[in-house]
Amino acid sequence: MGTTSVVFTKGVVEPAGLPEASLPVVAFFGRSNVGKSSVINSLFKKKDLAKSSSQPGRTTEINYFLVDGKSYLVDLPGYGYARLSRSLKAKIGNMISWYVGSDEVDFKWVVLIVDASIGVQDSDREIFSILNEYERRVIIVANKSDKGKRNDVSNHIRAMREDFPGCPIIRYSTKTGEGRGELFSTLWS
């Protein structure tokens, strides 16, 4: 279970910047501060592949990483962070919308990362609705499954099954490694 190469390719802010090569894409979505960068880094066992910050809202581009020369991992800006300026929130919202609806992107999977310790938020439901509208193949990563009360986390994950019907749901912890193998083999097998 592993890849030989994961390399940052480019940051994109508009359709004209999309990579020319038509390779399958595994796109990572999640609210700001949900641990999206940490999940990506743990998945590939690399500390600084995707830049993480203690300050939410740092990713402002659609970041492409070439995986083994065969597919792209795409790290999208986080959504739902209240402290961003109105103009930056609008810019990120527009960027996510055109990207999800793009016919130029060959989506293999869309990974929607949800915080298992607090449960599904309205912004997660909104993104999921958009992904469904475009018939994207979605897998839910219930991140931070090691945080909070065990019973609360189990209840939140059970509720995810209702909010995201038909989607695979993987319990995930960047600290313990729970779910890493399952997610990796699902996305890159």
Q: Find residue 115's DSSP bridge partners.
A: 143
Structure tokens at 84: 């961003």
Q: Find residue 74's DSSP bridge partners.
A: 27, 64
Domains of the chain as residue ranges with CATH = 6-187 (3.40.50.300)
How many CB atoms neighbour CB 7 within 10 A? 11
Confidence (pLDDT) at 49: 85
Confidence (pLDDT) at 44: 92
DSSP 30-84: EBTTS-HHHHHHHHTT-TTSS---SSTT---SEEEEEETTTEEEEEPPPB--TTS
Confidence (pLDDT) at 81: 62
Report the largest interatomic distance among the alpha carbons of the chain, rounded to a whole angstrom.
Answer: 47
Confidence (pLDDT) at 133: 94
Strands 169-171 vs 24-30: parallel, antiparallel or unpaired: unpaired
Task: Give the whole-angstrom CA distance, residue 80 versus residue 163.
Answer: 18
Q: What is the mean pLDDT of each run of 10 residues along the chain (189 residues)?
A: 79 88 91 90 89 58 93 90 69 87 94 96 93 96 91 94 96 96 93
174 closest CA partner among 141, 138, 152, 149: 141
The answer to whether 161 touches 135, Cβ cutoff 8 Å, is: no
